[in-house]
Amino acid sequence: MPVITVHGPDGTHTIEGRSGETLLSALQRAGLREPEAPCGGNGTCGKCLAAVSGAVTPADAQERALLPAGGERRLACRTRLTGDCSVTLDALRQACVVCEGASRPVSLQPWVAVPECGGLGAAVDIGTTTVVVTLYDLTTGALLGTEGGMNRQRVFGADVISRIQYANTAPDGLARMTSAIREQVSQAVCALCGRAGRSTGEVLAVTAVGNTIMEHLFAGRSPASIAAAPFTPQDRFGAVCSPGDGFFPAFPQAQVYLAPAVAGYVGGDITAGLYASGAWLAERAVLFLDIGTNGEMALGTKDGFTTCATAAGPAFEGAEISRGMSGVAGAVDRVWLDGGAPRFSVIGGGAPAGICGSGLVDALAVLLRMGAVDGTGRLLPPDEAPAGLEEWLEEDARGVTFWLDRTHDIGVTEADVRKLQLAKAAIAAGIRTLLEHTQQTMQAVSVLYLAGGFGSRIDKENAGAIGLLPPELVARTRCVGNSASAGAAAALLSRQARDELTAIRDKCRYLELSTEAAFTRHYVDCMLFEP
């Protein structure tokens, strides 16, 4: 068997590969967290870069088109092993994870028996991109610590569809992804216990929220049925799993609760968010919106909600964007105009390594203000753009690029604009379809609750300028941060709150957009940009 020498931030070690398999597959089987493969290893995103030498297949034309100029970096998903080789992996960048969110006070009434000596509980928000774990004292209700990081399942794909595909097609794919997320949660809980000076033997309860696919993968249930019509999940959860189900060997006595999901693409993170934000108590119509690789939304009042989900794709997470990356150190997260010239900020400071979703939204808004993008979403070449923009625009064989930083090759291409255009149109069309279906108007919506990490980072005005958010609702938009995590905490500490999540789920109706002719109509309209 080929031997792979892996050089990484944790030192050098060797793993075994299989002749003819991809380097990515070998690294995944070894449980390595890098490189990420946002497209699920399909060879389309160009993100699973690694420096490779030794006995591997040469790069073909498709791979070369995605590789950066110069160097020995290859795409791990398209590099096959023919013998021994060496690979150097980049160090993981520190994630910018939103842990705080709007929350409601709850009375302390744990749903597990807590002995007089005390007990601990963990609340887990399993996002497609990030994971947040909080540790609580079940005797006092005190927050003992928070741990956040990138979801380790990202090595298998950036979005839920690529992970479903991996679970269905890769050998032991489902087991690998289940193991990855459970180990991540377990290690986070153990670290939090250590920092708090407590024992993992005290962990009695875990509540977990996430979209329906993430909850399936966490529970070890196949999400295959969600990928095809009628998109029915195996489980809608809302029940407590016994300690004997073997979620966490490090604290086997813990009972695990997964928040109730509405449908295949509207999960427990939405029911938890509706609870924590207080949206479920609204007397007047409110819109709850969580934007990520999927755009999940709910419209209604205390009497009930209509929900839907639209596939925004991975553009907002930086995947399949030429210099896109997640919201980690080194990512451009803000772009603005200063004296007619674009300026930007970088997470953590220093030189930019790429651009994340919030930076992309800002960049597109800047391009629209500069007149460099027309109403159809076309990025204008220098000879067609308004005078004075030649310094920032360049046209070559790859098309037109808007440069933020030539030194570090950070720019937004025509293709990037199109992908962001598709993503924003999907979200905007979902909102319009939901309003039309429920016979509501923009004016009738009293508050737009914007949830999630991406929603917390974006500039509301710029989101309205590009049409991602309805311009009419920008002034009524309230960012509620990681409301899913806050809802998970409430369900951990209060039996009543846990039961209310089920009541919220039962008051939610699901609208399948793929069968709505109105969605297609709105989607086409929302592709355009307002002057």
Q: What is the pLDDT of residues 96-122, one digit of tens each?
A: 666 677 777 888 999 999 998 889 999
> CA angle 260-262-268, nearest 5°?
40
Neighbours of 384 (CB within 10 A): 15
Query: H/E/C letters for each residue in 131-195?
Result: EEEEEEECCCCCEEEEEEEECHHHHHCCCHHHHHHHHHHCCCHHHHHHHHHHHHHHHHHHHHHHH
At 70, is the pLDDT very low, low, confident or very high (cuts 50, 70, 90)?
low
CB 285 within 8 A of CB 446: yes
> Above pLDDT 90, what percent of the chain?
67
CA–chain centroid gap for 469, Å, is 18
Q: What are phi and psi of 509, to 5 degrees?
A: -105, 150
Question: Does 188 lie in the same domain as 48?
Answer: no
What is the predicted pLDDT for the residue at 95? 65
Q: Using CA atoms, how far apart are residues 276 and 478, in angstroms rounded to an integer?
A: 13
Contact assessment for residue 297 and residue 309, using Cβ atoms and an 8 Å cutoff: yes
Whether 507 and 299 have beta carbons less than 8 Å apart is answered as: no
**Residues 131 and 77 both lie in one domain:** no
Within-domain flag for 217: yes
Q: What are phi and psi of 185, to 5 degrees?
A: -65, -45
Statement to judge: residues 38 and 143 lie in one domain: no
Please tell me whether residues 18 and 82 are part of one structural domain.
yes
Give the pLDDT confidence score for residue 272 in this predicted structure.
97
318 backbone dihedrals φ, ψ, rounded to 5°: 90, -10
C-beta atoms surrounding 457 within 10 Å: 20
Q: What are phi and psi of 332, to 5 degrees?
A: -70, 120
Q: What domain count does the chain have? A: 2
Domain shared by 190 and 267, yes or no: yes
Token pair of 54 as six digits? 């030794």
467 φ/ψ sector (left φ>0, alpha ψ -120 to 50, else beta):
left
| Both tokens assigned to 152 | 């380790």
For the beta carbon of residue 172, count every other beta carbon within 10 angstroms. Answer: 11
**Three-state secondary-structure class, residue 25:** helix
Same domain for 84 and 131, yes or no, is no
pLDDT of residue 102: 73
Domain closes at, from 68, 88, 108: 88
Residue 290 lies in a domain: no
**Angle of CA points 197, 9, 171, to nearest 5°:** 90
121-165 pLDDT per residue, tens: 999 999 998 899 999 999 999 999 999 988 999 888 888 988 999
Tell me: do 199 and 51 sit in the same domain.
no
- Mean pLDDT of the residues in the chain: 91
pLDDT of residue 531: 63
Query: How far apart are the C-alpha atoms of 531 and 515, rounded to whole Å?
Result: 31
* Nearest by Cα to 454 from 442, 463, 441, 445: 463
Lowest mean per-residue pLDDT among 83-97, 288-302, 347-361: 83-97
In a domain, 111, yes or no: no
For 69-83, 351-365, 451-465, 476-490, which range has the lowest pLDDT when averaged over its residues? 69-83
State phi, psi for 244 to the nearest 5 degrees: -70, -5
How far apart are alpha carbons 87 and 306 in whole angstroms?
49
Residue 152 located in a structural domain: yes
pLDDT band, residue 530 (cuts 50/70/90): confident
Domain shared by 154 and 226, yes or no: yes
Q: Among the three residues 48, 73, 88, which one is the final residue of a domain in this structure?
A: 88
Asked whether residue 128 falls in the same domain as residue 264, the answer is yes
The pTM for the full model equals 0.89
What is the per-residue pLDDT across 220-276, written as a single tens digit (0 to 9) for each? 999 999 998 889 999 999 999 877 678 999 999 999 999 999 999 999 999 999 999
**What b/e string do you get for 492-522 counting C-beta neighbours within 10 Å, with b at 16 or more?**
bbbeebbebbbebbebbebbebeebeebeeb
Q: How many CB atoms lie within 10 A of CB 378?
A: 16
CA 95 to chain centre: 12
Q: Six-digit token pair at 190?
A: 């153990």
pLDDT band per the 50, 70, 90 thresholds, residue 483: very high
Residue 324 contacts residue 315 (beta carbons within 8 Å): yes
Residue range of the domain that includes 243:
120-276
pLDDT band at 372 (very low <50, low <70, confident <90, very high): very high
Cβ neighbours, 10 Å, residue 58: 9
- Domain membership of residue 405 (yes or no) is no
CATH code of the domain covering residue 157 = 3.30.420.480
What is the distance between the alpha carbons of residues 180 and 438, in angstroms, rounded to a whole number? 40
HSE-up of residue 345 (Cα within 13 Å, Cβ side):
9
pLDDT at 71 (0 to 100): 65
400 or 329: which carries more pLDDT confidence?
400
Q: Is the dihedral of CA 175, 219, 223, 493 positive or negative?
A: negative
264's CB contacts (< 8 A; 6+ apart) are 212, 213, 225, 226, 231, 232, 233
Q: Is residue 305 part of a domain?
A: no
Q: What is the CATH number of the domain that holds 12?
A: 3.10.20.30
State residue 351 phi and psi, 5-degree precision: -75, 145
Tracing tokens 């005190």 back to the chain, one arrives at 142
Res. 82 pLDDT band, cuts 50 70 90: very high
Same domain, 63 and 138: no
Do 158 and 245 fall within a single domain?
A: yes
Where is the domain boundary, 88, 107, 133?
Answer: 88
Rounded Cα gap, residues 173 and 76, in angstroms: 18
Q: Is residue 386 part of a domain?
A: no
275-300: per-residue pLDDT in tens? 999 999 999 999 999 987 789 999 99
Residues 446, 286: contact at Cβ < 8 Å? Answer: yes
Is residue 470 situated within a structural domain? no
The burial of 124, by beta-carbon neighbours within 10 Å (0-12 exposed, 13-18 middle, 19 or more buried), is given as buried
**According to the 3-state scheme, what is the secondary structure of 384-443?**
CCCCCCCCCEEEECCEEEEEEECCCCEEEEHHHHHHHHHHHHHHHHHHHHHHHHCCCCHH
Residues 25 and 124 in one domain: no
Check pLDDT > 70 for residue 391: yes
Please answer whether residues 478 and 446 qualify as being in contact, where contact means their C-beta atoms are separated by less than 8 angstroms: no
